[in-house]
Amino acid sequence: MSENPSPEPPSAPAPDPSDTAWWSDESDGTRPLDTHAVMAQGDVLDRRRGETEPLADDALPRETPPPPPAIAAAAMRHIGQVRETNQDAIYTLISSIPRETGDATLGLFVIADGMGGHEGGEIASRMAVAAVARRVIADLLVPAIEGSINVSLQALIVDAVQEANRTIWEHARMTGSDMGTTCTAALLLGRSLYIGHVGDTRAYLIDASGIHQLTTDHSAVGRLIEMGQLDPAEAREHPLRSQLYRTIGQHPEAAVDLVFQPIGDATHLLLASDGLWGCVEEATMLRIVQSIDSLQRAARALVDAANRAGGPDNISVVLVRLV
């Protein structure tokens, strides 16, 4: 005589979401598996604690994109040994821009050396830095985060410096000041560098072959050097070394130099006010940057070198490691 098959066990009732017992356990706060799930994963339970289950072939994640360059920056200002106020201003920003093919590193580095009247230069340099940062953040960083970036980086960096010029010019007219400033703004996106430049604050790129000045000084001495009428070694002692023919904020419009430079194998970007490069030889700056691993210590060493040379002006440095 054959036996009747055993009846199927009744299925467990669906959990009530209002009942916290089905997802929370007082002992460890984890959600317990239901009976059917435990039976289906019996082979997994035999594994040692902490061991993970291999993914099925069709569940393998997509290839991870290469990480963006791990850049870092250090910035430092010093009043120097002679001046009563510090009229330099500096700014650094490092972020990332989300893209479908992998995030891109974004860096914005600005240096400004103010001039004119009691506190006029200090105000002008801070206004220049703020105007450039505000424009780049509003037109590039925020739209990129929202996924709606649509801007020419060359035009953006030039427009940002020109906006700084208009802001200072209007403020100077309202206050009756003759304030002005230099401004060098470097925008790094991925492996490309875009520089907007007015005045004699400088941008250098450092690689295995040496230190390379990317900007041109808008000074009487700089023009003489550009025309081949003055040796660069004589510039530090020339009586016209501080006479600028192009600045920010002293005319309603400003011509802005644009420099585009792939960084290639460069290791560092260096922004310097004339309080640094006017006192410290380029070979010395190169040796300091290449011999000191810590960016902060290297920046301090550059400032110290300018002070040991007399520190006749405010000293500012922005040092960026590109690799």
Lowest mean per-residue pLDDT among 135-149, 182-196, 210-224, 231-245: 231-245
The CA distance from 36 to 47, in Å, is 18
Average model confidence (pLDDT) across the chain: 82
Which residues on neighbouring strands pair with residue 95, listed in sequence order?
106
Q: Which two tokens stand for residue 114?
A: 């103010």
pLDDT attached to residue 125: 97
What confidence category does residue 150 fall into, taking pLDDT thresholds of 50, 70 and 90?
confident
Residue 13: pLDDT over 60: no
Domains of the chain, first to last: 22-59 (no CATH), 72-321 (3.60.40.10)
pLDDT in tens, 228-279: 777 776 666 666 677 899 999 999 999 999 999 999 999 999 999 999 999 9
Q: Is 1's pLDDT higher than 50?
A: no
Give the model confidence (pLDDT) of 38-96 as tens digits.
333 334 334 444 454 555 555 556 666 555 557 999 999 999 999 999 999 999 999 98
CA distances from 245 to 91, 222, 240 (A): 25, 10, 11
Residue 136: pLDDT band with limits 50, 70, 90 = very high
Give the per-residue pLDDT at 187.
Answer: 98
Residue 322 predicted with pLDDT over 70: yes
- pLDDT over 80 (residue 302): yes
**Of 117 and 288, which is predicted with more confidence?**
288
How far is 138 from 260, CA to CA, in rounded Å? 22
Handedness of CA 286, 288, 291, 295 (dihedral sign): negative
pLDDT at 32: 37
Q: What is residue 29's predicted lDDT score, i.e. its pLDDT?
A: 35
pLDDT at 265: 95
d(CA 255, CA 127): 18
Structure tokens belonging to residue 252:
């309603």
pLDDT grade, residue 141 (50/70/90)?
A: very high
Question: Quick one: which of 133, 265, 143, 281 has its CA closest to 205?
Answer: 265
Q: pTM of the predicted model, to two decimals?
A: 0.78
- pLDDT(323) > 50: yes
Q: Which helix (H) or strand (E) holds 277?
A: helix 274-277
Distance, in Å, from the CA atom of 314 to the CA atom of 311, rounded to the nearest integer, reads 7
Residue 123, token pair as written in the block: 């105000």
Backbone torsions φ then ψ of 273, nearest 5 degrees: -80, 170
Report the pLDDT averaged over residues 218-233.
77
215-231 burial, b at 16+ Cβ within 10 Å, e below that, comes to bbbbbbbbbbbeeeebe
Tell me how far apart the alpha carbons of residues 60 and 56 are, in angstroms, rounded to a whole number.
7
